[in-house]
Structure 1
């Protein structure tokens, strides 16, 4: 008899494809105007980094063969190509905000090779703060301080060796920053299929249960369970 239990949704950490064929980096061009980050609606503490304000201008550094469709931008903003922005809207995916045109004032070729023939238009977008929350019991991470606010769940993290979300907290966003790990961008399986179907470049998707972030080489904590898949 087939089970009526819906499948557990899978999520992926969205990163740029460093050292890949379309490795592209963004650099600010002064003046850079910044605004205050949004406050947590419950505790009032800042949620995230300072926001990027107009003018949206910068340089691109090309390390790969061609410019990527996805580029990590200033602060919590990222740049996506016009073709990626149009496809995102046409297919009615959710979770990206802004879509501000970016003026690319210069492209610097950082490795041997020809400069790109065509320069795509880019848009600055921000991943929304989603309702999905990190499952502290079934995630392997080291926090620098305890969580005090149940809403934003803001607390520093020294290392991550796989994580999962509290069941029932995700509300269907295709791209979002989770409560408890707002420094990471998570995407849905639908978004992962969208990327694969269109062949968008300079993107790496890491299953959350396999994601490792350990700059101090502390290793995984011994007192956390392995995230379920």
Structure 2
């Protein structure tokens, strides 16, 4: 995937009453509000890279309602790729093919019905993309508390053992989630 290069300019679509503190788009970059960025840096959290100022060119309302208020300043950040790896032996991930690359660990997937990380692979990042599910953004418990404490918006945090993605409605694979024996 190509990297997003300056100038950082965006057109936003507003579906609710106000723009959120977190906006996920295409590619690996995400937008965070200035409020989010300031708090993230002040608390010394890890896992977001870049913090490039973004020019909001246009905000288009997608639902009827009152006009939005002031548009917050946004920053483009990249969520780091972590050494943390999905533990396929203890996860309920239906893969398209067996994992053959020990680095990316991702031949594609049909469904996810909860997963866990391989012990000893996570290095403490607060926001990261794991090997085996690079399309997913994972966060630490510390980050979840940070979001709650600051009242940050436009994020839904789901425990990884409860996370479900099953667009073809295949149902969970046979392998259960289990702890180490």
Q: TM-score, normalised by structure 2?
A: 0.95
Match of 1:34 in 2: none
Match of 2:63 in 1: 111
The answer as to whether partners of 1:52 and 1:74 remain within 8 angstroms in 2 is: no
- Whether 1:83 aligns to 2:35 is yes
Q: Choose the corresponding residue for 2:99, options 140, 143, 147.
A: 147
Quick one: structure 1 residues 50 and 146, their matched pair in 2 at CA, closer, same or farther if it must change by over 3 Å? Answer: farther
Q: What are structure 1's unaligned runs of at least 5 residues? A: 1-48
Q: What are structure 2's unaligned runs of at least 5 residues? A: none
Match of 1:130 in 2: 82
Match of 1:162 in 2: 114
Match of 1:176 in 2: 128
Size of the aligned set, in residue pairs, is 179
- How far did residue 147 of structure 1 move? 1.3
The answer as to whether partners of 2:22 and 2:155 remain within 8 angstroms in 1 is: yes
Q: Compare 177-186 and 139-148 and name the one that shifted more.
A: 139-148
Q: Which runs of 4+ in 1 moved over 2 A?
A: none
Match of 1:64 in 2: 16
Q: TM-score, normalised by structure 1?
A: 0.76
Aligned-residue CA RMSD (Å): 1.1
The answer as to whether partners of 1:139 and 1:164 remain within 8 angstroms in 2 is: yes
Q: Give the Cα separation in 2 of the matches to 1:200 and 1:168.
A: 30
Q: Give the Cα separation in 1 of the matches to 2:167 and 2:106.
A: 20
The answer as to whether partners of 2:18 and 2:69 remain within 8 angstroms in 1 is: no
Q: Choose the corresponding residue for 1:73, options 25, 29, 45.
A: 25
The answer as to whether partners of 1:163 and 1:227 remain within 8 angstroms in 2 is: no
- How far did residue 53 of structure 1 move? 1.7
The answer as to whether partners of 2:83 and 2:130 remain within 8 angstroms in 1 is: yes
SS in 1 for 2:161: helix
Quick one: structure 1 residues 203 and 227, their matched pair in 2 at CA, closer, same or farther if it must change by over 3 Å? Answer: farther
